[in-house]
Structures are given as C-alpha cells and as structure tokens.
Amino acid sequence: EGDLARILLGQREVNEVRTFPFHEFVAVGDARRCVAVLAKGLHAYRAGEAGTLHLTLRRAVEWLTAADLANRVGDAGPFFYVPDARCERRVRHEIAVAFCPFAADSMEMQAINAAYQSPPLLVEAGGHGTRTQWAFLRADTPLSALQVAPAGLHARLYNPTPDTVTLSNPPARSDVWGEAAPGSVESVPPHAIVDVLLPAPPQPASRPAP
C-alpha cells in the first residue's frame, strides 16, 4: 500500500507559487486604468512585490520530470531526455507596454491587444477595379475562429469582459459545427462564447485562362 501511494502521488507545487500562465497580455490596474504588458509567443509571468511583473523569456530544460526539485513534489509525467528543449539558439522576443485609461478587462483593452497581436496585412494589387473597401465582418468582440462552412462563414466570438456586448450587426446563429441554428445573435453575455454564421462574400471576377 505504501509503494502504491508513492506511485499514484500526483504532481503538486509546494511553498509559495508566484509564476502563472497568461495568453497575449497581462495587466495590473483597477476599474479606471491599467498598465498592460503585451507579448508574442511568451506565456508565463511571475508576480513580484508591489505589483511588479516579470516575464519568463526562456525556460530551458534537459530532462522532463526532473527529480528532487525544491518547489515540486510528486509525479509530473515520464522521466524523459529532451536535449532540443535546452534553448540553445538565438531568439527574438517582441514585447510592448501600454498605459491605458481604462480597466484591463474592458473591450478597449481587447481592441489594443488585437491590433498588436494581428496588425493589418497590407497588400498591393495590380487589378483594374475601383473599389477600395470590402468588409464582410465587423467583430464587436474578439474573434477566435473563422472557417468556411457549407452554410457560409462560421465565426466564433467571445466576450472576456464583465459586461454584455451588443452586436452592431446581429449575425445568424450557428451551432459549434457551423450549421445554421434558429434566430440571430443580438449580444454576447459576459465571459461567453457564441457561434455565428456570416454570408460568404462575393468572389472577385476572374478571367478565363489563356
């Protein structure tokens, strides 16, 4: 019984844990303002004294589930040699800091993050058309997925804020597979995910191959 308990002992952290995961940005502030650190490809930070944040730029390991660690006990998985995880290469990190006159969980902060993470893609076309704008989606909330479905364009929106967001152009409702569902989506509740269908944009005219 003692040997079995030792084998089934799961991983757990001991002492004080101050390192946490994050996705895209982490912020410190209140309901009126915040300071946000935005990053691409970094997913861990440590909370320090007096509200300081420390980003983990590199986490190099050589063995998975190394034994005798000061801050972890138990089994975290197989003991495995991973020499390619030693981070023996040059890495370029991109980080930004934003001082914002609004809360970290506001839609304004989401807009800043979206502009930083996915800047506009500029292309130069050599066609003879005169139309300069062609929009088929205005997302009032962050967009997490967009795919072509039989019924149109299947989009997934989410609301990470504590307030309900009203959609300016309510789209048709969809299920999680992109199939049409009854009704339309007028708003997105706080911390909710919704699936919607968008009409497919018209295809540009093409010339027959010579």
Domain boundaries, the chain: 2-117, 143-198
Q: Which residues pair with 147 in a beta bridge?
A: 154
Q: Name the nearest CA neighbour of 52 among 97, 117, 116, 106.
A: 97
CA distance linking residue 188 with residue 39, whole number of Å: 27
Rounded to an integer, what is the distance from CA 98 to the centroid of its chain?
Answer: 18
Q: Tokens 């005219």 label which residue?
A: 205
Average pLDDT over residues 159-180: 92
pLDDT at 108 (0 to 100): 95
CA distance linking residue 134 with residue 99, whole number of Å: 33
pLDDT at 151 (0 to 100): 82
Confidence bin at 97 (pLDDT 50/70/90) = very high
13 pLDDT exceeds 60?
A: yes
55 in Cβ contact with 39 (< 8 Å)? yes
Confidence bin at 142 (pLDDT 50/70/90) = very high
Average pLDDT over residues 25-46: 93
Q: Name the nearest CA neighbour of 17 among 51, 52, 47.
A: 47
CA distance linking residue 27 with residue 13, whole number of Å: 24
Confidence bin at 79 (pLDDT 50/70/90) = confident
Q: Name the nearest CA neighbour of 96 among 114, 121, 120.
A: 114
